[in-house]
């Protein structure tokens, strides 16, 4: 079975960093082997150098996308780490509605813009949408849009289709919410249209320049920057801070910190949760 030599590790780790920012230190040779071996076999390549040469000359980008799908860790679950969703329910959404009602009055549908950056297969997006529906009940009074983006086309395809296996549903979705918000079909559970309609999914590399027509009230960027270099993290959080509304909220992963990376943002605490806001 082909293994990755030191020279091949160097080629691949540089290439992977250049296409998605994921940084692999020299202890991660096994990751290249286990995750890229199926692609090596699929393309009939004899070793990792052959595969590298084949991927580099594929100007259709098809091979690059397959490498990204293979190398990314798309681990996620519904209501992952629960405290960000309690934060949404008990603080962020009530505060936002209060502020928007004061500034816009009661007559108009209140806009709420949310971005799940690196949303993987969509569980973070649908967990957020379900919290909003449970809390606000009549969604016609609000103009809610939840954008989910991820670099993996495979992840975005599943997120967009909104179908989950029993195993995926068992990871975080209660039986009550499952019957209320999902429809069972032959292959799993599919999100109902009322919740699906709140979301829009797009492929996007967070390390490429981005701009949006409107600022976001809430940005989730959880468990992706852990794979990036300090330099790429700094670039990412600075860019996210520019996409955040002046009174918006940034939520990062429970084991992550942006201390020293983005002076524009300050940490705030609510019960068990930390979130970030722009300094006044
Ligand atoms: C571990 S998952 C986190 C999913 C979700 N945010 C959560 O916390 O449950 C990391 C996701 O980051 C995505 N990712 C990795 N590099 C990325 C990049 N440069 N731009 C956008 N997404 C990226 C991967 O495809 C993967 O779906």
CATH number at residue 15: 1.10.155
In this structure, the answer to whether residues 152 and 237 fall within a common structural domain is yes
Residue whose CA is closest, atom 19 of ligand 1? 20
pLDDT, tens digit only, all 280 positions of the chain: 889 999 999 999 999 999 999 999 999 999 999 999 999 999 999 999 999 999 999 988 899 999 999 999 999 999 999 999 999 999 999 999 999 888 887 778 999 999 999 999 999 999 999 999 999 999 999 999 999 999 999 999 999 999 999 999 999 999 999 999 999 999 999 999 999 999 999 999 999 999 999 999 999 999 999 999 999 999 999 999 999 999 999 999 999 999 999 999 999 999 889 999 999 9
CA-to-CA separations, 192 to 62, 143, 178, 184, in angstroms, rounded: 32, 18, 10, 10
In this structure, the answer to whether residues 50 and 92 fall within a common structural domain is no
What 3-state DSSP class applies to 186?
coil
114-127 burial, b at 16+ Cβ within 10 Å, e below that, comes to bbbbbbbbbbbbbb
- pTM, entire model: 0.97
Atom of ligand 1 nearest to the CA of 123: 9
For residue 76, is it within any domain?
no
Count of domains observed in the chain: 2
For residue 78, is it within any domain?
no
In this structure, the answer to whether residues 65 and 101 fall within a common structural domain is no
Atom of ligand 1 nearest to the CA of 207: 19
Best residue among 66, 69, 120 to mutate for probing ligand 1's pocket (most ligand atoms within 8 Å of CB) is 120
């Amino acid at each position: 079975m082909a293994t990755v030599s030191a020279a091949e590790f160097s080629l691949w780790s540089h290439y992977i960093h250049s296409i998605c920012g994921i940084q692999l230190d020299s202890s991660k040779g096994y990751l290249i082997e286990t995750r890229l071996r199926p692609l090596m076999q699929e393309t009939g390549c004899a070793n990792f150098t052959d595969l590298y040469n084949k991927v580099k000359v594929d100007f259709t980008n098809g091979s690059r996308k397959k490498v990204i799908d293979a190398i990314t860790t798309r681990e996620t679950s519904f209501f992952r780490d629960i405290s960000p969703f309690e934060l949404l329910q008990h603080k962020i959404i009530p505060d936002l509605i209060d502020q928007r009602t004061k500034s816009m009055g009661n007559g108009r549908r209140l806009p709420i813009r949310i971005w799940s950056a690196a949303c993987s297969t969509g569980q973070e997006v649908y967990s957020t949408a379900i919290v909003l529906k449970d809390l606000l009940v009549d969604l016609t009074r609000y103009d809610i849009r939840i954008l989910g983006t991820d670099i993996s086309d495979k992840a975005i395809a599943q997120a967009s289709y909104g179908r989950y296996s029993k195993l995926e549903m068992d990871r975080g979705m209660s039986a009550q919410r499952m019957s209320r918000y999902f429809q069972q079909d032959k292959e799993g559970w599919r999100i109902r249209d009322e919740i699906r309609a709140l979301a829009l999914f797009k492929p996007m590399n967070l390390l490429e320049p981005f701009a949006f027509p409107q600022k976001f009230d809430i940005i989730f960027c959880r468990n992706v920057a852990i794979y990036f270099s300090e330099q790429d993290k700094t670039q990412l959080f600075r860019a996210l801070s520019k996409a955040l509304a002046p009174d918006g909220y940034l939520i990062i992963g429970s084991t992550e910190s942006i201390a020293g990376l983005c002076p524009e943002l300050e940490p705030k605490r609510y019960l068990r949760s930390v979130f970030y806001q722009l300094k006044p």
